[in-house]
Structure 1
């Protein structure tokens, strides 16, 4: 789906003019007070047990606005133990937590896992999660398999949608954001261009609804390349200098959503419908210089991937009786990714012919989760939560063409899961919480996930939390069933993969105390250990015909050990954050060959600073993050696996947000001030391999942005 860029700006300015006129007309008769959005305080329905047993960090709406965040990637970069992993070729950005990639982190929206290109809830492209209608983002660290199922090994990220207004009435929100990509910017053709629109109506104290749209146009990062319409012609001959195209491929995203929030007595019904469309263009660096009717006709074989996703989520919650509460969610999500390969006529700047037009990926997901907590509310010693979870994923992840196959094979994975968490309180300060989840899968053997959590309150503010449990991860849809085989490709999933399993330990100690009269210090100390058996990784081997085959397999183990200290200090108008993590990673392809290997240790450092100038309604903020070297499993030029390293890098952002009036705000800032573009990866070699060094793109240079937001309340 593509929108006319000129019309978007005209519509925005036209609507802004109408809104200003409406506001001025109302000012003549009645003084308008700016309506504030409802901020849900305390524990959300979907995370209440999580907050009691695990360490939960929150990125609030104000934090999102201070950095002009449009998608999840914009705001997660500064979280202490999270690393953003962008891929310039396909435009995807995934995350790692405690050195474990996106396969081990579950991403939820309102407690419901998100469908992705290769699974449900894991390895999500976080640039596809728009946060225009988000109230806050909760980050839960720790192995949470009992509460959230397999693949929640390192933690869970839960995106919470806004719900209604504080008072009856309407709110219209408009936002326009322009951003450079490195030093590249043109109003329509280069840089990043974002428009947001949202309307909310609080009908009464029981009913509210909202709808809106967001467009994010990333024109790509050229970085010395010359774009789609470049061709080098010398003496009526095409010279292939490999300068065509872009360093980062351009993509355009459109998100349209609507939700309804209804309170019936003490019961709440929340429904959200969302449509997402993404178009990703890949420009071939090789140009074909052919003569047609005596004229030079340079063409290139380009590609386009279009993703369409529908999400329909329903959540119902409330009390059974007194303090016993229920929470039930239902979801249907469908996604299709269409692949198109076409001949592009460079001089005429048009598609000349389409070579391939096919669906390359399809998913239909039915999901439901329900639980009842505080089942024994009158007991001071014992309590219980029981629940179920159901997931049915049907579809395929393949481009099956060429000589090897002309059909795609549809597969289905269905999980039936029951879980329970108990609470024993021997004393007022000590709580013990054993839990278990039984999983029946159509793909794997039955599995039991277990955990034992404990909390101890030394004082009202000094608290200790600890959890030990299963580190269980099942292979995702792509790892099992991916199939891309033609004359030039031989990439396949492995249906014989075994789930990973192991043990994880997380310990958290936090405090909160006053410093001087107006200062507060919140130190937070964590210890973590994760031991994964049969870790899944990419391998290179041969197929039945002796061709080079890229697939997945289980390796012996992967371990994480570390400590982190995170501090926040608030004094008057100052808000300062300072944290560090010392993380050790050890991988073994064959345990017998790695008995003497040590952990590769790295230091991660994070700091943030915010100062509010009250009389100007202005907040100045900055975020600095240092990510140390990382160990991983890589493939050398011969296709052999080896354990190598990725270099360290530092990221720095800064911004100023100010309220120009009661209705208009502006945010001006810069991302990646240190101008990081690429880092070296795979810099060390194994015992039987030569040293291999490659460069990996992680940024698109120093970028500047300006965001204008307008709120009309009536």
Structure 2
């Protein structure tokens, strides 16, 4: 459950101030600061990078720990916003933020932690709430673009994001202690405990010897919500001893508190490596009822206002194990094992506004539960002596069991528990046709307990025109399996009839991704990297929400394979590094063509949108300081929706987002980062493409995107010793 936030914050601040003033100032080595937006490449060659995703087949970018620190990133949503082909979509009511790539939403993007898919509310690896991914123990974030279903399973259509945990300590130190405190305004709102965002982190690492290291840590992120024009939990409008419901109670964005604790063990046995990660995550989201009930107190005759509020609490346990090493010579093995358990609890209670306390609980139940058993293994470089031919073979097994018994605002006691299993076998062949040209055909055979046997395939190719001028192409199937919710969701009572469809079939189609890049030397030490990308997705049998009559002629809200979508896009990305300057500039032009409910009047034309991204950074070595700014223009987007009189075009207007930050080392042990987010003060954007129900256009006039202009300050204390 939620910790006492006042005690937690006061104790943590006291410890941080004490240890930071206990050390004398000293100089610190200056490190080159890279731009968050200009993703760097990682080459997978050594055993130390067995968790990495292969650069050989795909376009791979990396955000390292310095990139994360520069923007004071606490969770994944803090650092991904400025990638040109990634869009973060927040939901003010639930507090969730999901990621889309190349116009495909979170269902088509796979998120891994150390190569293992992360569990979510109703699936594994997809549609993840990225605000729940804490970055305090992260070494780097790998972003891989293109269809990767053969290597990483169903739903890896647009790409994969892999969160890599830090292992061991740098240098010759045996111990490392890290403490940090971060304070942020939420728009103009801030107070020490009740408004704003308050983050504390603690981590201890010990390198016992060159073979064994471990670390333990905890992080707390307390987001007090965004009030905007609302008046908070204890607001009530009483006139003439009568409650007037003016709709101003509560907050615009719901408050939430997140606690993450973790422990890692890294063991090297000769050339073999064993890595174990244990994590516990707790999140509490509070939802305030806008409607106030004005009951009269029979003893006093005065109004006694109450509201029906809700709490959603998510608990997650993660046990991940990775074992890797050589089999013989350059032939290597890699095995992953995971057990993950997530439970969501739902409380509905009567809150007494004048007494500022809970009167009684209406509902206090477990509303969602899922348990994941996962294993993956593969052997790479199986023909190391051949210059022409090589092979990788592997398997993947997933077993998910659980239920989801909650819809919008009420709890259902009619719980239906289900199990979904996957047995997969995959292989990728490497043909080096010439010194410059290679092709990589691959296939995955998947057996699913719900929809049977399916085949995922791909054909990748790389061509090196010169040492710096390279072409990569990926052609494969756009395979997305229905998630647990779409198959098994069940919420039926007197007022609701919402059910999953166990007869759903996977979406499939064609995906194409082409990446052409070159590097140019512009000065003795400076260079320009430029990349042109093109992508195309033709997705058939898209899963959509539909309304059909059930056996009792009631309206049944369910899912069906009825939609189609085509996406075509082009990107141009540039990054320039000259002396202490880092500059990034990129643009993307994307169109989507859609058919809804197998409609004969589908939209055959593409609806186009334009995005622009830029970044600027400057390092001052003498002052051990870096200054950076990031800007992203999101152009007008349009989608086809089904309205009351047929298909209509929904639209979200364009907007521009900008952040800036300043990072410096105050002493050898103490670092400060300060800055501003959302400088142009974006809160809502005019929108008519927000669905209100099943396949209907919305009357909503705007979409919430931000909390307004916010400011942050982070202090990090880092002590290394033997």
- Same fold? TM cut 0.5: yes
Which residue of 243, 250, 254 corresponds with 2:248? 243
Count residues with an aligned counterpart.
Answer: 705
How far residue 400 of structure 1 moved from its aligned partner, in angstroms, is 8.1
User: Normalization by structure 1: what TM-score?
Assistant: 0.94
Deviations 1:554-582 (Å, cap 9, x if unpaired)? Answer: 22411110111111100000111111111
Q: Does 1:707 align with 2:714?
A: yes
How far residue 513 of structure 1 moved from its aligned partner, in angstroms, is 2.0
Q: Indicate the residue corresponding to 1:200 in structure 2.
A: 205
Alignment of 1:169-568 (within 5 A): 169-293=174-298, 294-399=301-406, 406-568=413-575
What is the alpha-carbon distance in structure 1 between the residues aligned to residue 126 and residue 100 of structure 2? 11
| Gaps in structure 1 of 5+ consecutive residues | none
How far residue 547 of structure 1 moved from its aligned partner, in angstroms, is 4.0
Deviations 1:576-622 (Å, cap 9, x if unpaired)? Answer: 11111111111101556246620011111111111111111111111
What is the alpha-carbon distance in structure 1 between the residues aligned to residue 131 and residue 531 of structure 2? 29
How far residue 205 of structure 1 moved from its aligned partner, in angstroms, is 1.2
Q: Does 1:163 align with 2:170?
A: no
Q: Indicate the residue corresponding to 2:69 in structure 1.
A: 65
Q: Does 1:12 align with 2:12?
A: yes
User: 1:35, 1:713 within 8 Å by CA — same for their partners in 2?
Assistant: no
Are the structure 2 counterparts of residues 641 and 442 from structure 1 closer, same or farther at C-alpha, using a change threshold of 3 Å? farther
| Gaps in structure 2 of 5+ consecutive residues | 32-39
What is the alpha-carbon distance in structure 2 between the residues aligned to residue 141 and residue 388 of structure 1? 22
Are the structure 2 counterparts of residues 556 and 306 from structure 1 closer, same or farther at C-alpha, using a change threshold of 3 Å? closer
How far residue 445 of structure 1 moved from its aligned partner, in angstroms, is 2.1
User: 1:118, 1:476 within 8 Å by CA — same for their partners in 2?
Assistant: yes
Are the structure 2 counterparts of residues 504 and 522 from structure 1 closer, same or farther at C-alpha, using a change threshold of 3 Å? same
The range that moved more, 621-630 or 488-497, is: 488-497
How far residue 396 of structure 1 moved from its aligned partner, in angstroms, is 0.7
Q: 2:327 aligns to what SS in structure 1?
A: strand
Q: Indicate the residue corresponding to 1:133 in structure 2.
A: 137
Deviations 1:508-565 (Å, cap 9, x if unpaired)? Answer: 1111121022210010111111000001122344444444443322224111101111
Q: Does 1:645 align with 2:654?
A: no
Are the structure 2 counterparts of residues 587 and 444 from structure 1 closer, same or farther at C-alpha, using a change threshold of 3 Å? same
Are the structure 2 counterparts of residues 596 and 344 from structure 1 closer, same or farther at C-alpha, using a change threshold of 3 Å? closer
The range that moved more, 512-521 or 126-135, is: 512-521
Q: Indicate the residue corresponding to 2:681 in structure 1.
A: 675
User: 2:398, 2:421 within 8 Å by CA — same for their partners in 1?
Assistant: yes
Q: 1:65 aligns to what SS in structure 2?
A: helix
User: 1:612, 1:619 within 8 Å by CA — same for their partners in 2?
Assistant: yes
User: 2:16, 2:180 within 8 Å by CA — same for their partners in 1?
Assistant: no
Q: 1:16 aligns to what SS in structure 2?
A: helix
Deviations 1:675-708 (Å, cap 9, x if unpaired)? Answer: 11112333699xx998955321111111111111
The range that moved more, 340-349 or 585-594, is: 585-594
The range that moved more, 270-279 or 583-592, is: 583-592
Are the structure 2 counterparts of residues 666 and 33 from structure 1 closer, same or farther at C-alpha, using a change threshold of 3 Å? closer
User: 1:200, 1:208 within 8 Å by CA — same for their partners in 2?
Assistant: yes
What is the alpha-carbon distance in structure 1 between the residues aligned to residue 387 and residue 697 of structure 2? 63
How far residue 23 of structure 1 moved from its aligned partner, in angstroms, is 4.5
How far residue 45 of structure 1 moved from its aligned partner, in angstroms, is 4.2
Q: Indicate the residue corresponding to 1:123 in structure 2.
A: 127
What is the alpha-carbon distance in structure 1 between the residues aligned to residue 422 and residue 127 of structure 2? 19
User: 1:482, 1:492 within 8 Å by CA — same for their partners in 2?
Assistant: yes
